Amino acid sequence: MQEILGEEDADTVRMMGGFGGGIGGSGSVCGAIIGGVAALSSRYGKGKLEEKEDGKLFPLCAELYRRFATEIECSHFCRDITGTDFTKPEEVKAYIGSPEKLARCIRLVGKTTELVRDILIREAAKSSAPGA
């Protein structure tokens, strides 16, 4: 995602680490969605408390959330996508030992990254269009 945004920052990568397994292994919202929202926020969010977000931010994040479920996976939740309860060590071990499950997650992260890239490119084209 950082390559798409033209930024590389190790702190950002570290910040995102806890979202794996659906937020710290809770099985909640897929970390790929959260990463996508973070990328959109880094482009359209505010940088200081006194600033305002770009009005595009919430609609674009909602678009990502909606399109994830219609174009990438049928669920937003890691536990549903992986079929894994990350609070149970034996299920985590089985997940890590499953090339199919790992490949599915890698694919959906890639597809989510492509979706965010497409959204960012589309919005940049709108901004640079005559009369924008």
DSSP for 31-100, written as a single string: HHHHHHHHHHHHHHS-SSTTS---TTHHHHHHHHHHHIIIII-S-SBHHHHH---TTSHHHHHHHHT-HH
pTM, whole model, 2 decimals? 0.87
CA 11 from chain center: how many Å? 17
Q: What is the pLDDT of residue 118?
A: 96
Q: What is the pLDDT of residue 2?
A: 54
The string of pLDDT tens digits covering residues 104-124 is 999 999 999 999 999 999 999
The string of pLDDT tens digits covering residues 11-64 is 888 888 888 899 999 999 999 999 999 999 999 999 999 999 999 999 999 999
- Say what angle helices 57-67 and 31-44 make with each other, to 10 degrees: 160
* Mean pLDDT (whole number) for 87-116: 95
Residue with tokens 């920052």: 9
